[in-house]
Amino acid sequence: MKERVTLTLDKDLIEKIDNRVDGINIRNRSHAIELYLTRHFKEDRIKTAVVLCGGKGTRLRPITYEIPKVMMPVQGKMLIEHIFDLFKKHDINNIVLCVGYLKDKIKEQIGNGFKYGVNVTYVEEDDALGTAGPLKLMQQQGKLPTEPFIVSNGDELKDMDLNAMYEVHKKSSNLATIALAAVDNPSSYGVARLTGNKILEFIEKPENPPSNFINAGLYILDPKIIELIPDGHSMLEKDVFPKLAKDNNLFGFPFDGQWFDTGTPERYEKAIKEWKPLSG
């Protein structure tokens, strides 16, 4: 049962609250205040994030012959540090790094994460396992969370409201929610075809995009999704998400915050020039 209350707030605070209202995930000012109070007083929140760090970064050679993608610098910090900042901003301090290529360099630099303000553990790939395979390996090693968790690519910079995304995930009662970034030229990516927040499919590099929303490389997953992942190399994007979409069990979270892909020299340069760092 809800009750109406009247609040008197500082003008600057009201402006910050109103800036969070997008009309979709946060409907209005009252909804925004309710969400933030709920998050403050409840323990029901995302506690674990998994970062996929095993890729070779072949499109960024020769740099990645010696430097893992997640350790490449952007404005004085490694990529992975900016990702840590996003998680710390949302009180997510338990981080699992799935490492493969040049994993010893990552482990030597990051260690247990203490100096970056997070708690880091590792899942080590002997062979490349893709974006889904490491989750199966986590299960086999007894490291898979028993509650919804985040999975993020390690070569993208993102700024979004992860708490609001979790609220959408819970209300949908689905196995996966995908963060969707709005881009000016979606035809260079896999583009989401949507009905409401439900994802019907991703269309790869379409001439006539059905939307301007693309997979932003960050997901909230229910642990039950592991049942859809085979042993060995597998991809969330190709082997898991299409199955969920077919069963009407795949949802999107459109956001208008920052998003930069660093997978090519041109995109990496753009990120260096335009990314606005977060405060961790």
Give the number of residues written for the chain: 280
- Catalytic-residue membership of 77: no
* Burial per residue of 228-241, b for 16 or more beta-carbon CB atoms within 10 angstroms, e otherwise: bbeeeebebbebbb
Query: pLDDT digit of tens for each residue in the chain (280 aa)?
Result: 567 777 787 777 777 777 767 665 566 777 677 666 655 555 567 889 999 987 776 777 887 788 888 888 988 899 999 999 999 988 898 999 999 888 899 899 999 989 888 999 999 888 888 888 899 988 988 888 889 999 999 889 999 999 889 988 888 778 899 999 888 877 777 788 888 778 888 887 777 877 878 888 899 999 999 999 888 888 888 889 888 888 888 888 988 888 988 888 888 898 899 888 886 4
The domain ranges of the chain are: 10-42, 43-274
Q: How far apart are CA 163 and CA 279, in angstroms?
A: 17
Strands (E), the chain: 48-53, 73-74, 77-78, 94-99, 119-124, 149-153, 156-158, 176-182, 190-195, 198-204, 213-221, 250-255, 259-261
pLDDT of residue 95: 94
**Cα separation, 25 vs 251, whole angstroms:** 12
- pTM, rounded to two decimals: 0.80
DSSP 69: G
19-47: burial string, b at 16+ Cβ within 10 Å, e else = ebeeeebbeeeebbbebeeebeeeeebbe
The pLDDT score that the predictor gives to residue 280 is 47
CA proximity to 105, closest of 53, 178, 60, 32: 53
CATH class of 43-274: alpha beta
> What confidence score (pLDDT) does residue 207 get?
76
pLDDT of residue 98: 92
Whether 153 and 218 have beta carbons less than 8 Å apart is answered as yes
Residue 228 and residue 239: Cα distance in Å, rounded? 8
Res 82: pLDDT: 92
- Which candidate in 16, 170, 171, 205 is catalytic? 205
For 48, phi and psi rounded to 5 degrees?
-130, 140
SS3 call for 217: strand
pLDDT at 199: 86
